[in-house]
Amino acid sequence: MTTDRLSAVLEHIDNDLPAAIERLKDLLRIKSISTDPAFAGDCDSAADWLVKDLQSIGFETSKRDTPGHPMVVGHAGDSGRHLLFYGHYDVQPVDPLNLWDNDPFDPQVEDTPKGKVIRGRGTADDKGQLMTFVEACRAWKAVHGTLPTRLTMFFEGEEESGSPSLIPFLKENSEELDADIALICDTGLFDDETPAITTMLRGLLGEEIVIKGPDMDLHSGMYGGPAINPIRVLARVIAALHDDTGRVTVPGFYDGVPELSDELRAQWEALGFDAEGFLADVGLSEPAGEAGRSVLEMIWARPTCEVNGITGGYTGDGFKTVLPSEARAKISFRLVGSQDPHKIRESFREMVRALLPGDCTVEFHGHGSSPASVMATSDPAFEIARQALSLEWPRPAAFVGGGGSIPIAGYFKSILGLDSMLIGFGRDDDLIHSPNEKYSMDSFHRGMRSWARILDALSAD
Amino acid sequence: MTTDRLSAVLEHIDNDLPAAIERLKDLLRIKSISTDPAFAGDCDSAADWLVKDLQSIGFETSKRDTPGHPMVVGHAGDSGRHLLFYGHYDVQPVDPLNLWDNDPFDPQVEDTPKGKVIRGRGTADDKGQLMTFVEACRAWKAVHGTLPTRLTMFFEGEEESGSPSLIPFLKENSEELDADIALICDTGLFDDETPAITTMLRGLLGEEIVIKGPDMDLHSGMYGGPAINPIRVLARVIAALHDDTGRVTVPGFYDGVPELSDELRAQWEALGFDAEGFLADVGLSEPAGEAGRSVLEMIWARPTCEVNGITGGYTGDGFKTVLPSEARAKISFRLVGSQDPHKIRESFREMVRALLPGDCTVEFHGHGSSPASVMATSDPAFEIARQALSLEWPRPAAFVGGGGSIPIAGYFKSILGLDSMLIGFGRDDDLIHSPNEKYSMDSFHRGMRSWARILDALSAD
């Protein structure tokens, strides 16, 4: 259902596309690489550019200093559902520069077999994506002289360098940033024809364990037999972490892991995900996770325990008959639902300790821990947005999961108490963080139109 | 029982000790580091020194060229039991030089709390040890004008650099080197008061395995769950290599593993080995090997399977949520009795293959393989030598095992068909291969006397 007020905005977007591309190019030319201090001035320029642009479409906008790169916050409207839109203006470094076909900061629109793309650093991650929303607002303002609902824009410049200023900034400005729901545009389409709203993101818990046996490395001729070998002990620990059906054996691990609703299961089945092709792309032929779960479910909705690294003893060329003094592994857990990372960390450590023979000790080094993000899709905004998106794209939109973490969604929830709708138009072949990054013109154009539809639907409700 | 002919030789050894020390110092001053080409001339000089010295005591001796450093072969006597004596004149490098208290090639006799020692590179490994035999022959010759039995001296100069010329030389000269039994003086006392004849040496089999899963490293957010993780598979393989009693589970592994004879078991028990102290020295408190076996038995008479190194995924600082494409381990087996390394290698590989899930492959890289050396102690020479040794030292000599390999013993057996008596007087604190290497004067003196007794007993039989 396309209202008249929306039709006019969509038409404006279509007609204004060439100018929107020029504005995006302007922003892309700013070398806002956040991780390299040499580009601090460029980050500042990108923030200034956004302040000015938002002001030009009626947002009361300011650049806000932090100990790192500045934030940009803009407000417009004072009634209706309050939406907080998040994006980031900083980009990844560009090296190795010699692998780029063109200057990464001189963006150009190109024809490709899969349609037009704009190529350059930051096109997909995240300047192109964030501008889809800004342009939707611009078009609405141009056509109707005002914005359809209450809006807060929130852009950071440190997403690619660990967001050191983010948590303090959210805490200090929680009242100003409070809203009804957040929109985050740092995600992708399900496939070229199918848009997606990511409603669940797995959490992550990291543990490094160091198992120690003898005080020093020993010679296996001298001590092989009576001396405990920490690599063998570590292997037993790792082997004990899963049962034969692929389930994680850490006690209490599955507390808080929900089963999929019938509705979500039906939506995911309807996506027609090519699990075979997904695995074949990386040389695999069969899903290795929990028995009886689909590949999509394994990635989006099931927790895991993985070993990300292991080392011990002699690992160089040739052979050394050493019995090492210690062995180490980096182990991580992907979490879903309401799994409690702290409880799991403790339970894991207890389990490991219980598996150690008398002469071994273990050291634990905790790495990051974040719970899963599970959005309250019972909020009608989710279904409204899903239907609006479905009207713009060839195939209906789905609520999907995300296998990895998007920390900002967790912070919005824990600090601001906000659920997020993660809606983005990136594609698997966008080469984000790599040379020759690009953003599809179809994503840019339909992305703007998608946001116009969502603004229309969420403000009409 | 000390015969008159022996008493005179022992007395000569005692009186001639100062001169014997000077001769040893002469040999020690030659920098015969075999592994460094800069010292090739010194290796040659050491060989020349030995040729001249052996000639001076009646051995028909020659230096024999090889593609590497020369061999020295000398013959004396033409009747009686034919003994082949082996030693090596090359030494380890001396770096780090700054950790030596004195010039490693300017040997000095020092007083220590445990008695006099001679300190310098090669004192214990192996120049001091080989000279104990040469000096025993010199004394016999001086007293009796002849040697008591048929003797062949065989010295190499590449023991510390992998003995590349040894096998071809043994093969080409097998007739000349053929004897009744070999004597090898590259081993140690059981303890300061107890001499030992090593009659069994464990063999060694090395395998490197590389388990491969996905074609490339994957992100655990994207693929964690459905993608197989080679580290987990490798851990399962390693964990499966032993059962809960510490026995190796490779099919057929224990074929050819003999139980100890009651006699040997009694001898070993009589040694009063301090298993607790042996483990405590390296920070351990309980034997980790096969249940129900003593520590000495574990080291000398039981086979093992050990992991000497393992690596996979991200092993640097911090954390990376990678699912690695491959994981590798270096695994070795210590072998005893008549275990067949080739059969075990094949059985191990078959077992590993059977443990792999569908999407994993494995590469094997075979490293060294040598069977155990088990001497035919039924040859009366062994018991004769044991009794002779027992007369010289405070405590009776024992037939012992050796946890590591001494390749020369294997080659004598496989190429010349010779059993070896491994008799040496080294001590645990000799610092061989390390700075401040030393040899006990007690070992040097009693070592010469021990050989005189053994020569007497073996030639009187």
CATH number at residue A68: 3.40.630.10
Q: What pLDDT is stored for residue A319 in this prediction?
A: 84
Task: Give the mean pLDDT per block of 10 residues along chain B (461 residues).
Answer: 89 98 98 96 98 98 97 95 97 92 97 97 97 98 96 96 94 96 95 96 95 93 94 98 97 97 93 95 95 95 97 90 95 96 98 97 93 93 97 96 87 94 95 94 98 96 66
The strand pair at A181-184 and A82-88 is best described as parallel
Any A CB within 8 A of B318 CB: yes
Nearest CB to A225; choose among B241, B299, B359: B299
Judge if A37 and A157 occupy the same domain.
Answer: yes
Answer for the pair A44, A69: CB distance below 8 angstroms, yes or no.
Answer: yes
Q: What pLDDT is stored for residue B405 in this prediction?
A: 79
Is B309 a domain residue? Answer: yes
Work out the average pLDDT over A325-342.
96
Judge if B152 and B17 occupy the same domain.
Answer: yes
Any B CB within 8 A of A323 CB: yes
- Cα torsion B261, B263, B265, B269 to 10°: value is 180
Question: Cβ contact (<8 Å) for B358 and A238?
Answer: no
Judge if A102 and A247 occupy the same domain.
Answer: no
Mutate to test the interface with A, among B223, B233, B325, B406 (most CBs of A within 10 A): B223
Asked whether the predicted pLDDT for residue A258 surpasses 80, the reply is: yes
Calculate how close chain A gets to B456, using CA atoms only, in Å: 33
Higher pLDDT, A164 or B318: A164
Is A275 a domain residue? Answer: no
Is B279 a domain residue? Answer: no
Judge if B210 and B176 occupy the same domain.
Answer: no
Judge if A12 and A26 occupy the same domain.
Answer: yes
pLDDT digits (tens, 9 = 90+) for A6-43: 999 999 999 999 999 999 999 999 999 999 999 999 99
- The ipTM assigned to this model is 0.89
Q: What is the token pair recorded at A221?
A: 């001729």
Judge if A30 and A170 occupy the same domain.
Answer: yes
Judge if A163 and A89 occupy the same domain.
Answer: yes
**What is the 3-state composition of chain B as percent helix, strand, coil, each rounded to the nearest 5?**
40, 25, 40
Look at residues A325, A344, A370 and tell me which one is the last residue of a structural domain. Answer: A370
Is B88 a domain residue? Answer: yes
Judge if A319 and A184 occupy the same domain.
Answer: no
pLDDT digits (tens, 9 = 90+) for A54-86: 999 999 999 999 999 999 999 999 899 999 999
Is A273 a domain residue? Answer: no
Judge if A70 and A108 occupy the same domain.
Answer: yes
Question: Cβ contact (<8 Å) for B321 and A275?
Answer: no
Asked whether the predicted pLDDT for residue A393 surpasses 70, the reply is: yes
Answer for the pair A196, A188: CB distance below 8 angstroms, yes or no.
Answer: yes
Nearest CB to B227; choose among A235, A282, A322: A282
Work out the average pLDDT over A39-53.
98
Q: What pLDDT is stored for residue A461 in this prediction?
A: 66
Is A13 a domain residue? Answer: yes
Answer for the pair B288, B246: CB distance below 8 angstroms, yes or no.
Answer: yes
Q: Give the pLDDT band of residue A162 (cuts 50, 70, 90).
A: confident
The strand pair at A203-212 and A150-156 is best described as unpaired
Contacts of A356 (CB under 8 A, 6+ apart): A211, A233, A237, A362
Look at residues A370, A399, A420 and tell me which one is the last residue of a structural domain. Answer: A370
Is B285 a domain residue? Answer: no
Is A160 a domain residue? Answer: yes
Residue type, B278: F
Question: Cβ contact (<8 Å) for A357 and B222?
Answer: no
Calculate how close chain B gets to A434, using CA atoms only, in Å: 15
DSSP-derived 3-state class of residue A369: strand
Residue type, A360: C
Any A CB within 8 A of B327 CB: yes
Work out the average pLDDT over A350-378.
94
Judge if B105 and B219 occupy the same domain.
Answer: no
Q: Give A 386-445 residues with CB within 8 A of chain B.
A: 402-405
Q: What are phi and psi of B30, to 5 degrees?
A: -80, 125
Q: Give A 334-393 residues with CB within 8 A of chain B.
A: 334, 357-359, 367-368
Look at residues B313, B340, B370 and tell me which one is the last residue of a structural domain. Answer: B370
Higher pLDDT, B449 or A433: B449
List chain B residues with CB under 8 Å of A359.
283-286, 288
Q: Give the pLDDT band of residue A418 (cuts 50, 70, 90).
A: very high
Any B CB within 8 A of A290 CB: yes
Give me chain A's average pLDDT, please. 95
List chain B residues with CB under 8 Å of A221.
202, 204, 334, 402-405
Question: Cβ contact (<8 Å) for A226 and B324?
Answer: no
Q: What pLDDT is stored for residue A1 in this prediction?
A: 60
User: How many structural domains comprise chain A?
Assistant: 2
Mutate to test the interface with B, among A186, A200, A209, A223 (most CBs of B within 10 A): A223
Calculate how close chain A gets to B207, using CA atoms only, in Å: 9
Q: What pLDDT is stored for residue B460 in this prediction?
A: 86
Residue A212 domain boundaries = 203-257+303-370
CATH at B333: 3.30.70.360
Question: Cβ contact (<8 Å) for B405 and A358?
Answer: no
Judge if B129 and B62 occupy the same domain.
Answer: yes
The closest of B385, B337, B390 to B200, measured between CA atoms, is: B337
Answer for the pair A193, A390: CB distance below 8 angstroms, yes or no.
Answer: no
Q: Give A 188-207 residues with CB within 8 A of chain B.
A: 202, 204, 206
Size of interface A-B (CB pairs under 8 A): 282
Judge if A326 and A348 occupy the same domain.
Answer: yes
**C-alpha dist (Å) from residue B188 to A125, B279, B334:** 68, 19, 20
First to last CA, chain B: 13
**What is the 3-state composition of chain A as percent helix, strand, coil, each rounded to the nearest 5?**
40, 25, 40
